[in-house]
Structure 1
Amino acid sequence: MIQTGTELMLGGVWTDVSHRVRTASDMSGTRGRSSWGSEPDPAKYVFSLDNRDGAFSQGYPLSPYYRQLRRNTPVRIFAPATTSHLEILDTTGTVTTPHQAALNIAGDLDLRVEVDINLMDVAANQTIIGKWSATPGERQWLLHVYDGYLRFSFTNASGVASQAFQSVSSFGGSVLRVTFDADNGNGGFTVQFWQADDWSGQWTAVSRPLVGNVLDGVLPTTSGPLTIGVINPTATPDQLPWIGYGHRFQVRRGIKGPVVADLDFRDVPAGATTFTDLAGLPWTLSGGAQVVRRDYRFHGEVSEWPSETDRGDRDSYVTVTAQSMKRRLDTGRDPLKSVLARRVPGYGPRAYWSLEEGTDASRAYSPIDGVRPMTALNMDFAAESTMPASAALPTVNTQNGAVTSRLSGQLPAGGSTTGWSVYWVYRLNSQPSDYASYMSIQGTGTVRDWRLQISSAGSRILGYDANGAAAVSQTIATGSDLFNQWILMRFYASQSGGTVNYGIVWKDIGGDAATVTGSYAGTLGQITSVGSPPNGWNALVDGLALGHLSVWDAISTEAYANPALYGDVLLGYAGEFAIDRIGRLARENNIPVQIRGKRLAGERVGAQAVDTFLNCVRSATTADGGIFLDQRRRPGFLYIAPAALQNQTPKLELTYTQPGHVIGIFKPVNDDQALENDSTVQRQGGSSGRYERTEGPQNVNPPESDEDGIGRYAKQVTLNVYSDDQCEGLATWRVHLGTWDAARFPTLTVDAGAIVDQLPEVADLDVGHVIKLTGVPTKTSFDDLYLLVQGYTETRSRTRWLITFNCVPYGPWVTAVCGLDRTDTTGSTLAAAATATAGTLLVTSEAALWATTAQFPDDFPMDIVVDGERMTLTGVDDTSNPQTFHVTRSVNGVVKEQPEGARVALFKEPFTALTE
């Protein structure tokens, strides 16, 4: 019997309802996408629940789940697994081992962990593992995640804590490693984060070496335990255990040193509360930590409970269609605010108005508590939409002076009298013939009214006192670069004794900045209002667009600044990598997203649109070419970047003739559904790039004039990429995928219940993994098949578990590795016919000659393909055309005479990937 568990989150507790699932009908689930290029639908599971007692009738007061069955009730479905894992259910769950001398590592350290947790949770200070307790003298080192960063903390011998941190979006593997060099030989320490796809440890650095200047040794400990999921309420915020799943944890004394703690939960019995690890350490589980032996197949939500009852009221059931949170997010379609409207309030301004109102607005809302809306008169709201980091902004419309435009933002009482600043963005396309004010700031100090003015001749700062006399008058030579583009402005002032120092900063958005300063004798005072001059704007600034006006109790803020890890904030983060955008959006919206890939690989994306979370993510993933889908083992999403798809080792190997390995019809499809031999990629708002295949398999030439031609299959796509330079490369990659000369195998069905010896591999297989299929009938293929999984549908009943995988050929994703692949076999053909058993061939090449055995002896043997016959090339003679090839024939079972002109190529040609 194929057992399946079903749990609902009722009253905040996972409640087992497996006994109510009707086994007479199948459970079925889908995940991923149907083919390459399509978008994954929300993951879905369908099953029926026994409702004869009304347990699943909403509003039925006698139901044991009364008032607990709500829309979007969380549900999870699992099957028994052959291995265990650690599951921490709440912030009380920990796993500890007592202190002993071997764990007192007051020097170099090497940590390796395999966990599945929500790294994007910016609010929680999640502790992964550490020798770190609430007792200050027992805090040695800690690996934790907080505020969007992976963090390694340690305490030096003097009791001072230090920290190295790296953006969580840098980590795109399954296994995280941290190396800590306590004395790097340069008067400090070095921390580096690494990733690997599995525990075998093909490590890739996910950070540059993080170097600190602390060199005082590491604090020794005498009693504190080593803990998975440290609880430390003295931190800000509280350091608490992660919520999710853990698989392996390892601590080494020294980098690549001896293992002193080695936890592998796969072999720990389910339900165990104590166990001994592979290094001989005793461990104890407490709180919400438990060892389970489950394979989670689905996490989702139940949005409705449709009950059906027969006419005799003898039978009643609910057919549940549970779907992932993607369905809800797509249904809600709640647009995100603009980049600046989301970012600026988070930095704590005294006042802020984005001015991103609709066309019929009469005032401008402020998201800051206690700050009233700006009053407006004769403003054309939503008139200017060219600011990349903003929604449409208002413009001044004076109607040639007949009715002036006004904006006034009143600040609440209080504010700094020692230093303040005002920020805003503006665009003015025309150059005023005389000085005209474009910002006015009122306050309580010596200067009661600041007027910032601009003209074709330059700029001017005026400051009027309480009597209307000019206390400040400063003319500044500025040029035409302040016009016809977006400018970020900052005006600031601070008190220094009896002197007020002020300054004005102009920054071209996407360009450079300039600063002018001045001073006067007097007092600074507080800001009371900002906006237009009291009598409105002069007609000379008609058409002035402005927005994102903010006031700060400090002379500067990072709210408008460029964070080092991302693209330009003022350009809507244009230039950040797709992985970084997806991670940032997830953190900003507190949506769990796991990333598989490599940072600083893939495509840079353009400005972030004012759109929903999913649409903003779609824009990035489409540009990058990866797969964004629901997670299976916990609620949330998974992004598989192209770098994670390339050059994989198959996760599952099947044999065509073995029972259960291939069920039903398995046939190749040679159609033109995915063909694209002429591709044009248009940059959103920019230029385009085009690539067409004019020779070789599936080229654009008519089939009657070229044996490899199939005619033109032209496609065009618009992508939100950062630079026009990316377009041609993306078009080339699309043609590479769209002209891969191999049959498609859209589906492959496996009887998971019948493959007992490979059940763990079948259960672990997921979207983005590779299946190797051997023993395929020769009419289908003489070679093994490598299939990339795009999605799957599974059907479970009491007696069977069938999984139908949606697949595409994996060949296009086997790409060149820098420094290893250097072969171009274009235009290589047989110079003379060869018999079916000939051991030597004469080969001529239009492009570069093949490497000879004498030149590169270590490159041999290698496999080649000659018109469908796979051969092993053992040597190459001659350094001019034709070359003599020494071969072993019919490696794939194809026995045939080879004609003159037969094509010769490597068995696996290396292609250059976009993501490296």
Structure 2
Amino acid sequence: MAFPEQALDLRAEVQIGGLWTDITSRLRTSDPLVASYGMSAEGTSVDPSTCTLKVDNSDGALSARNPLSPWHGALGRNIPLRVTVPSGESYLALTGTSSDIASAPDHNDLDIVGDLDLRVEITGDLYNQAVTQNLIGKWDDGPNPSFLLQISTDSQLRLRWSDASAAFRSYTVTLPAALPRRVALRAHLDVDNGDDGFIARMYWAPSLAGPWTRFDSDIPGTGTTSIYSSTVPLSIAPTSQVSSTPGVPLAGRVHAAEVRNSSGVVVASPDFAAQVPGTATFTDSSGKTWTLAGAAEITDREYLFHGEMSKSPPRWVPSGKQVWVSAEAAGILRRLGQGRKALDSTLRRRIPSAPGLVAYWPMEEMTGATQAYSPVAGVAPLKITGFDFATEDTLGGSSPLPKLKNPASLSGAVPRAATNGWQVEMVYLLPTMPAAQTEILRVSVGGSTMRTAHVYASTAGIRVEARDSEGDVIQFFLYTGPNGIAAFHSRWNKLVIFVSNEGGGDVRLTAGWQDVTEIGGRSTVSTIFTGSLGYVTAVTGSWGAATEGMALGHLGVMAVAGAGATPGSVYYDGADSGYLSESALNRIVRLAAEESLPLTWEDGDGTAATAQMGPQRPATMVNLLQECADADGGILMERQDRLGLHYRDRTSLYNQAPALVLDYAARQLAPPLEPVDDDKWTRNDITVTRTAGSSGRVVIEEGPLSVLPPEEGGVGTYDDSVTLNLYTDEQPIQVAGWLAHLGTWNEARYPSVKVRLHRHPELIPAVLKMRIGDTLRILNPPAFVQPGPIDLQVRKITHTPRPRAWEVVFECLPAGPWNVAVVGVSKADTAGSVLAGPVDADDTVMTVATTRGPRWVDAATGWDFPFDVRVGGEVVRVDQITGPVQDAFARTLTPGWGTATSGQTWTTTGGSSADYSVQGA
């Protein structure tokens, strides 16, 4: 990049009438554009990203109400704004839309029927995406496609192919955890392994240049295979909508790709990095002509900001010679945060979309209501008496529900369903089981010999009855199992009543009940009668003293039939408990999907096993998302390259290699570099309380930031408490331990690290890839500050680009707390070690005494050498340890490790070592 010899190619664009319009020439360079995203080092949650800019408006074109503006009627609040700079490397940008692809026509070279090798280098979201992403293939929705490489919704790399008989085949392997966002993926298919089978192999690499790492093992397929020779074009990336191979194009970047035949010859090799931005068609090195379609484009732009222009007031000087717009733009969190309406309960949100829903009454009315409305069009409110609304608020999936008085009644008319077969369901809490047989619910039926279905309960059992038009019992069954009777009361249950076709003119009537916190474990009682399935015409209930205090709600009717004693719909499941025990990441993903909110995420260990959540209660969208991040300890942030959110789970912050390395000695940091050694984040007495549950407390009683008074080596008590929406009472103590770990990390903070990219343009590529939560490393800091390197976690990034100057400020916290032990990888140190004698820069041996716990290990113990230790704040590398009474360390390279006094403590560390090593004496 020639910057700053040439002016920075900054580009600001607004989307007007669906088209991106360049307004760069209008930017007032005297008032620089400032783009910022993340959270301040003082904050606890991410703020909406912001972009401020002043835009010349002397012609009035940007005045929304100016009828002379060429964009009159197309300007308004929240029009999209994007700010980009060149990255120095071209790539193919794909939107994920089926029409936005790059393709090459079919060719004899591409009609591969034998061994196949597909390789593609991408930047994208690899893990647990909402849709399957197609990467490369000769594939369409016709009957005979050839081959396709996909990333599935469960983070698996999948090779699909159609064999010579047009039968679909596939091979799928889970991606390794924590692959970089820019990665090369490869699939090789050996159609005949010489042993009457075929073998597919999967690899990944940092780039197409390799080196390739295989992440599966040879599992031969039965019989040999082949690939159908189709006339389908080769595409990056094709769309497949047929049920057996659903998928959409990758939403991200493609840098290059290769297709190789059975001889290893490259038959297609689009290299998008080698193309000039704006290229719409080109020929690759194998002679294939590639053409872009739709919104797919070859570009080299990197985003500093992508958001919505929330304010654009016109301003001018009195003379009118200067007219401008002082624009402010923000990310999607600003708009989401403006809303104050809580999302409905999970049952209220889910049930209206149930397949076959005919009628539904939530019963979440406020105190004083005289009827219960239905959100389903054409369904009349329930007629009720004796309902004490909004008095029971213990069901996780609901807002407060009514309790029954004595007497109480309910009557709801149900519209005629288009199909026969039905299911009625509701949630209820019956405090005690009635001693005498008591009706719980009645369903009126049309189109069947059974005109009413009844469910009764008593200490003697649960009874289901089918009655005819005269009210006579056709068939019944009494369930007397003690476990099922016990499960019917004293807890929140789902009650489901449904019919199923038994064949031969017989119909099964079933009633089932199940604790809302359980998956499976339903108790059922059934009876069989001769007739037809029919349809529901009404639901009614009439209750007295035996059911006084019973809570109920979310009464729904669906036109679905069961199968035997299994209901035809399980749409209440999960939502009834408020998705209790759902992982934080899964809840964030589900909420985003329900609200059509663009979301991507990083799952550090690839398992989605983030913190388990308590019930999702009514709250605003932003608050619901943030409580997931708080429970998990991750970061909910905005995307920089598109309007949407991104979530980094806690494990994605662990043990990171630095994304940006700055050398203080090479003047890559702009002054001042000012550490803050204060008690802003000191917390050594932490209490965590589970919402509506128990608490856990952790007190740090040893160490320099412990609760010990200063005269005894601590800092005194810094207490804090937090309430989190967790699943079990075992979780608070674990979270408290982690928060205490963060709160007693003994390093200085660096709230501001400034880089002047116009003076160090070599840093631009790495800076543009930085994201919130990444690790920044400072090499060779001043000796009077602390020994290096200094690892920091980036919490906020602010860009201030000018034509010939570009400053970036990173607001940071210490990254050390996130360097954690990994089972099978990390090494435990002793419980206490000190230097046995003083050392200085001329010494060749360090002798370490173990004061508590086991002594330091040697090679015979089985540890791999070298590893790093920290002494006096300085990191040194250990090549070997000798003993047995005291452990001796000897340095072999200069410079030395400085000086240290007797009694200096030693610990293992996850940091990088200084540029020297030590070996055993």
Residue matched to 1:23:
29
Higher deviation after alignment, 610-619 or 838-847: 838-847
> Does the CA contact (< 8 Å) of 1:307 and 1:317 recur in 2?
yes
1:441 maps to 2:409: no
Residue matched to 1:129:
136
1:785 maps to 2:796: no
Residue matched to 1:458:
461
631, 639, 642: which one aligns with 1:634: 642
Q: Which runs of 5+ in 2 are unaligned?
A: 1-6, 913-921
Once the two structures are superposed, residues 619-655 of structure 1 have per-residue CA deviations (whole angstroms, 9 ceiling, x without a partner) of 1111111111110011101111222222222122222
774, 777, 786: which one aligns with 1:772: 777
> Does the CA contact (< 8 Å) of 1:156 and 1:162 recur in 2?
yes
Residue matched to 1:429:
431
Partner SS state of residue 852, structure 2: coil
Task: Report the Cα distance in structure 2 between the residues aligned to 1:295 and 1:790, rounded to whole angstroms.
Answer: 20
CA deviation after TM superposition for structure 1 residue 127, in Å: 4.6
- The aligned amino acid for 1:426 is Y
Task: Report the Cα distance in structure 2 between the residues aligned to 1:675 and 1:783, rounded to whole angstroms.
Answer: 23
Alpha-carbon distance change, 428 to 779 in structure 1, aligned in 2, over 3 angstroms: same
CA deviation after TM superposition for structure 1 residue 168, in Å: 12
Task: Report the Cα distance in structure 2 between the residues aligned to 1:75 and 1:525, rounded to whole angstroms.
Answer: 57
> Does the CA contact (< 8 Å) of 2:455 and 2:511 recur in 1?
no
What is the percent sequence identity of the aligned residues?
30
Residue matched to 1:3:
9
Higher deviation after alignment, 837-846 or 72-81: 837-846
- The aligned amino acid for 2:649 is A
Residue matched to 1:493:
499
Partner SS state of residue 877, structure 1: coil
1:662 maps to 2:669: yes
Residue matched to 1:913:
none
Residue matched to 1:519:
528
Task: Report the Cα distance in structure 2 between the residues aligned to 1:337 and 1:260, rounded to whole angstroms.
Answer: 55
Higher deviation after alignment, 129-138 or 732-741: 129-138
- The aligned amino acid for 1:85 is Y
CA deviation after TM superposition for structure 1 residue 520, in Å: 1.9
- The aligned amino acid for 1:379 is F
> Does the CA contact (< 8 Å) of 2:192 and 2:225 recur in 1?
no
CA deviation after TM superposition for structure 1 residue 828, in Å: 0.6
Task: Report the Cα distance in structure 1 between the residues aligned to 2:887 and 2:165, rounded to whole angstroms.
Answer: 72
- The aligned amino acid for 2:468 is D
621, 624, 627: which one aligns with 2:629: 621
Higher deviation after alignment, 106-115 or 336-345: 106-115
- Counting only pairs closer than 5 Å after superposition, residues 292-311 of structure 1 correspond to structure 2 as 292-311=299-318
1:587 maps to 2:593: yes
Alpha-carbon distance change, 904 to 805 in structure 1, aligned in 2, over 3 angstroms: same
- Counting only pairs closer than 5 Å after superposition, residues 267-666 of structure 1 correspond to structure 2 as 267-277=274-284, 281-351=288-358, 352-398=360-406, 401=407, 405-417=408-420, 419-444=421-446, 445-477=448-480, 478-495=484-501, 496-511=503-518, 512-532=521-541, 536-552=542-558, 553-555=560-562, 556-560=567-571, 568-597=574-603, 598-659=606-667, 661-666=668-673
Task: Report the Cα distance in structure 1 between the residues aligned to 2:490 and 2:66, rounded to whole angstroms.
Answer: 66
Higher deviation after alignment, 576-585 or 102-111: 102-111
Once the two structures are superposed, residues 566-597 of structure 1 have per-residue CA deviations (whole angstroms, 9 ceiling, x without a partner) of xx444222222222221121112111111112
Residue matched to 2:918:
none
CA deviation after TM superposition for structure 1 residue 327, in Å: 0.4
CA deviation after TM superposition for structure 1 residue 775, in Å: 2.4
Task: Report the Cα distance in structure 1 between the residues aligned to 2:264 and 2:381, rounded to whole angstroms.
Answer: 62
Task: Report the Cα distance in structure 1 between the residues aligned to 2:116 and 2:284, rounded to whole angstroms.
Answer: 22
Task: Report the Cα distance in structure 1 between the residues aligned to 2:223 and 2:280, rounded to whole angstroms.
Answer: 40
Task: Report the Cα distance in structure 2 between the residues aligned to 1:887 and 1:712, rounded to whole angstroms.
Answer: 41
> Does the CA contact (< 8 Å) of 1:173 and 1:595 recur in 2?
no
1:723 maps to 2:728: yes
Alpha-carbon distance change, 577 to 223 in structure 1, aligned in 2, over 3 angstroms: same
> Does the CA contact (< 8 Å) of 1:631 and 1:637 recur in 2?
yes
743, 750, 771: which one aligns with 2:748: 743
Residue matched to 1:702:
709
CA deviation after TM superposition for structure 1 residue 673, in Å: 0.6
Higher deviation after alignment, 469-478 or 714-723: 469-478
Alpha-carbon distance change, 515 to 188 in structure 1, aligned in 2, over 3 angstroms: farther
CA deviation after TM superposition for structure 1 residue 116, in Å: 3.9
Task: Report the Cα distance in structure 1 between the residues aligned to 2:452 and 2:174, rounded to whole angstroms.
Answer: 44
Task: Report the Cα distance in structure 1 between the residues aligned to 2:686 and 2:214, rounded to whole angstroms.
Answer: 33
> Does the CA contact (< 8 Å) of 2:487 and 2:514 recur in 1?
no
Residue matched to 1:846:
851
Q: TM-score when scaled to structure 2?
A: 0.87
CA deviation after TM superposition for structure 1 residue 331, in Å: 0.2
> Does the CA contact (< 8 Å) of 2:830 and 2:856 recur in 1?
no
Residue matched to 1:914:
none
CA deviation after TM superposition for structure 1 residue 189, in Å: 9.6
Task: Report the Cα distance in structure 2 between the residues aligned to 1:190 and 1:550, rounded to whole angstroms.
Answer: 51
Task: Report the Cα distance in structure 2 between the residues aligned to 1:730 and 1:906, rounded to whole angstroms.
Answer: 24
Task: Report the Cα distance in structure 2 between the residues aligned to 1:317 and 1:373, rounded to whole angstroms.
Answer: 56
- The aligned amino acid for 2:425 is Y
75, 80, 88: which one aligns with 1:74: 80
Task: Report the Cα distance in structure 1 between the residues aligned to 2:176 and 2:552, rounded to whole angstroms.
Answer: 33
1:228 maps to 2:231: no
Partner SS state of residue 658, structure 1: coil
Higher deviation after alignment, 63-72 or 287-296: 287-296
1:85 maps to 2:91: yes
CA deviation after TM superposition for structure 1 residue 143, in Å: 2.8
> Does the CA contact (< 8 Å) of 1:29 and 1:46 recur in 2?
yes
Task: Report the Cα distance in structure 2 between the residues aligned to 1:561 and 1:603, rounded to whole angstroms.
Answer: 23
Alpha-carbon distance change, 774 to 266 in structure 1, aligned in 2, over 3 angstroms: same
Higher deviation after alignment, 889-898 or 774-783: 889-898
Partner SS state of residue 859, structure 1: coil
CA deviation after TM superposition for structure 1 residue 163, in Å: 7.1
Q: Which runs of 5+ in 1 are unaligned?
A: 563-567, 911-916
> Does the CA contact (< 8 Å) of 2:505 and 2:532 recur in 1?
yes
Higher deviation after alignment, 87-96 or 18-27: 87-96
> Does the CA contact (< 8 Å) of 1:32 and 1:767 recur in 2?
yes
Once the two structures are superposed, residues 234-281 of structure 1 have per-residue CA deviations (whole angstroms, 9 ceiling, x without a partner) of 889997645554444455779x99876554433322112233557775
CA deviation after TM superposition for structure 1 residue 906, in Å: 3.1
Task: Report the Cα distance in structure 1 between the residues aligned to 2:201 and 2:528, rounded to whole angstroms.
Answer: 47
CA deviation after TM superposition for structure 1 residue 835, in Å: 5.9
823, 827, 831: which one aligns with 1:818: 823
> Does the CA contact (< 8 Å) of 1:596 and 1:639 recur in 2?
yes
Partner SS state of residue 77, structure 2: coil
CA deviation after TM superposition for structure 1 residue 886, in Å: 2.6
Alpha-carbon distance change, 155 to 658 in structure 1, aligned in 2, over 3 angstroms: same
Partner SS state of residue 710, structure 2: coil
- The aligned amino acid for 2:445 is G
- The aligned amino acid for 1:719 is L
Once the two structures are superposed, residues 842-863 of structure 1 have per-residue CA deviations (whole angstroms, 9 ceiling, x without a partner) of 4321334344545158734444
Alpha-carbon distance change, 857 to 429 in structure 1, aligned in 2, over 3 angstroms: closer
Task: Report the Cα distance in structure 1 between the residues aligned to 2:591 and 2:205, rounded to whole angstroms.
Answer: 24
